[in-house]
Amino acid sequence: MSISKNQLKLITSLSQKKYRQKHNLFIAEGVKVVNELLNSAFKVETLFCTDDFSCNISAEKIVQVSEIDLKKISSLKTPNKVLGLFKIPDEKELQNKGLILALDDINDPGNLGTIIRLCDWFGVSELICSTKTVDCYNQKVVQASMGSLTRIPIHYIDLEAYLSKTNLPTFIADMDGENVYKSSLPKEGILIMGNEANGISDEIKKLISNKISIPRFGETQETESLNVATATAILLSEFKRAF
Amino acid sequence: MSISKNQLKLITSLSQKKYRQKHNLFIAEGVKVVNELLNSAFKVETLFCTDDFSCNISAEKIVQVSEIDLKKISSLKTPNKVLGLFKIPDEKELQNKGLILALDDINDPGNLGTIIRLCDWFGVSELICSTKTVDCYNQKVVQASMGSLTRIPIHYIDLEAYLSKTNLPTFIADMDGENVYKSSLPKEGILIMGNEANGISDEIKKLISNKISIPRFGETQETESLNVATATAILLSEFKRAF
C-alpha cells in the first residue's frame, strides 16, 4: 500500500492552520516525537511509516511507505521512519492556578516549541497564548517541542480580557524592572513574555502588577536583548529555584 | 553599478566554510547586524545596499543594488537594505581567566548564535569552541548572534588538549550532578556544554572536576532534556547571579 492522492493532498494541506482546523488534524514526524504522542492521550489518525518502524496500533491506521515516499511527504531534512497524523485534542478548561506562562504574540515556531519544552521541564501548570501567537500544532512547533506538547495544557485566548480579570499576580520582563535575582517571587502567578520584535503590547503592559529584569553583565552594555526563549528559561528557573 | 558576475560568485561561495577561510571573508545582512559590525573593530570589505541605506564608509566599498538584486544575493526571507562582506578578524590570544564557556561540538548555527548572544549578555570573558563546532562565521550564526559576535572573543581549539592543561575549575551539566541552585559557583571557571544529540563526549567528561544539574520540576519527569541554548542560559545566569 502506498500513499493515495487524497492522502498526499491532505498531508500537504496540513501545513496551513485553516486546514488543520478544518480536519482537526496535525502532523508529527520522527520516531521520538511520534512515539511520545502514541504514548500520550493524543489520538492517532494515520501513521505513514517505513517497514523498520514498529508500534502497537491497529493495522488499519498504518500505511507502509517506501523511504522515497516518506521523503515526499516529510518536511524534515532527514526523514526518520514515520510521519503521523494526530487528532487535535479539545482544549481543557483553564484552571488558573500554579505558575502560568502567557505569551503575547510569539511568532517564531522554534521559539514556541522551545518554550513548550521549558514549560514541561519547569512544571508550568498552563501555557496561555494570545490568539495571534503561532499555532502550537504548526509542524515546526510540534517538532521543536519534542513531545512536551502532550504534557502541557495550552490555551489560545484573548490575553487582554484574561489578564484584566485574573486575581493572580502578573509579571513581565522589563529592563526597568526589579532585579529578578533580588525579587521574592511567588509560587503562583502569571509570567507574560512578549513578541520577538515588539515585546509586550501597550494594552497588556497596563494590566501588569510587577516588572522584573534579568541583569546584564556584559561590559559594553550594548546587547539589546535576550532571545525570548532564553529569557523565558532564566525567568522560569528563577520562579522555581526558591521552592 | 550593479553586482558583477565575480562578486555574485564570491558571495555564493561564502556559504561554505572553506571559501570563507580562503577569502578570509564572511557575510552579514540587514541594517541592525551590519551597523553593529560597522561600529565595531571588524573591517568591512564591501557593502551591497539599496539606496535607502545610509552609512559613513568610503564610496569605493559600496555597491548600490536594486531590491531585486539584493533579493538574489540575500539568504533572508525579507532582505533588509544591506548585505555586507566583512573580514574575518585574527583570533585573539586566549586569556584563560574569568568565566569561560566551552562548546563540545555544537552543530546547530541557531544555537551557536543564541549562545554568543548569551555570552555577551552575561559578560562571559571568552567562548571556546571545539574544532568540530559549527563555524561562528556561518551566515546563520552571524544573523542569530545579532552583533554580539563583535564583542565576544571566540577561539576554535583542541578542547581536550586545552581542558587537560587548564588550572581553572571545570563544570558540565549532568542529571547526576549537584543541584545547581544549591551549588556554590566560583567567579572564575569553565562551563562546558555538549553536542545537541550526544551531549559531552567521553574524552571530555574524564577531564571535568564538577558536575551540576538543573532540577526538573515537571510532574511526569519525562522531559528528556533542555535545548542546549536554554540550558546554557540558565547555567550562565546561575554563575553570575551570586556576584
Structural domain includes residue A199: yes
Structural domain includes residue B200: yes
Measured between CA atoms, the residue of chain B closest to residue A219 is: B123
Q: How confident is the model at residue B232 (pLDDT cuts 50, 70, 90)?
A: very high
**Min Cα separation B217/chain A (Å):** 5
Specify the CATH number for the domain of residue A184.
3.40.1280.10
Q: How confident is the model at residue B221 (pLDDT cuts 50, 70, 90)?
A: low
Provide the phi-psi class of A22: left if phi over 0, else alpha when psi is between -120 and 50, else beta: alpha
Q: Do A131 and A169 have their domain in common?
A: yes
CA dihedral A104, A105, A108, A114 (to 10 degrees): 30
Per-residue pLDDT tens digits for B188-210: 999 999 999 999 999 999 999 99
Quickly count: other Cβ atoms within 10 Å of residue B151's Cβ: 20
Q: Do B188 and B125 have their domain in common?
A: yes
Q: Do A144 and A208 have their domain in common?
A: yes
Question: Is the pLDDT score of B81 beyond 90?
Answer: yes
Structural domain includes residue A165: yes
How many CB pairs lie under 8 A apart between chains A and B?
Answer: 98
Query: Count of domains in chain A?
Result: 2
Residue ranges of B 77-106 with Cβ closer than 8 A to chain A: none
Q: Do B38 and B108 have their domain in common?
A: no
Structural domain includes residue B92: no
Structural domain includes residue B93: no
Q: Do A202 and A113 have their domain in common?
A: yes
Buried b (16+ CB within 10 A) or exposed e, A45-61: ebbbbbeebebeeeeee
* pLDDT at site A2: 81
Q: Do A79 and A146 have their domain in common?
A: no
Q: Do B208 and B108 have their domain in common?
A: yes
Q: Do A12 and A53 have their domain in common?
A: yes
Question: Is the pLDDT score of B65 beyond 80?
Answer: yes
* pLDDT at site B242: 83
Specify the CATH number for the domain of residue A63.
3.30.1330.30
B179-183 mean pLDDT: 96
Rounded to whole angstroms, the Cα distance separating A91 from A77 reads: 31
B129-138 mean pLDDT: 98
Measured between CA atoms, the residue of chain B closest to residue A243 is: B217
Question: Is the pLDDT score of B151 beyond 70?
Answer: yes
Rounded to whole angstroms, the Cα distance separating B12 from B8 reads: 6
Per-residue pLDDT tens digits for B101-119: 999 999 999 999 999 999 9
Containing domain of residue A69, as a range? Answer: 5-87
Question: Is the pLDDT score of B219 beyond 80?
Answer: no
Measured between CA atoms, the residue of chain B closest to residue A239 is: B217
Residue where one domain finishes, among candidates B34, B60, B87: B87
Q: Do A41 and A71 have their domain in common?
A: yes
Question: Is the pLDDT score of B134 beyond 90?
Answer: yes
Structural domain includes residue B94: no
CA dihedral B109, B110, B114, B120 (to 10 degrees): 40
- Which residue in B220, B229, B238 is closest to A230 by CB distance? B229
Structural domain includes residue B69: yes
Rounded to whole angstroms, the Cα distance separating B41 from B43 reads: 6
Measured between CA atoms, the residue of chain B closest to residue A149 is: B223
Structural domain includes residue A94: no
Residue where one domain finishes, among candidates A52, A87, A122: A87
Per-residue pLDDT tens digits for A204-220: 999 999 999 999 987 76
Q: Do B206 and B109 have their domain in common?
A: yes
> Can you point out the beta strands (E) in chain A?
25-29, 44-49, 62-64, 82-87, 99-104, 126-130, 154-157, 170-179, 189-194, 210-213
Q: Do A67 and A103 have their domain in common?
A: no
Question: Is the pLDDT score of B166 beyond 90?
Answer: yes
Tell me the average pLDDT of chain B: 94
Residue where one domain finishes, among candidates B87, B116, B148: B87
Per CB-CB distance under 8 Å, the chain A contacts of B241 are 181
Q: Is B82 exposed, middle or buried (0-12, 13-18, 19+ CB in 10 A)?
A: buried
* pLDDT at site A220: 63
Per CB-CB distance under 8 Å, the chain B contacts of A229 are 114, 227, 229-230
Regions of chain A with pLDDT less than 50: none
User: Do residue A215 and residue B118 have CB atoms under 8 angstroms apart?
Assistant: no
Among A117, A240, A212, A223, which residue's Cα sits nearest to residue B118? A223
* pLDDT at site A1: 64
Q: Do A10 and A33 have their domain in common?
A: yes
* pLDDT at site B243: 79
**B221 interfacial to chain A (CB closer than 8 Å):** no
Rounded to whole angstroms, the Cα distance separating B123 from B151 reads: 10
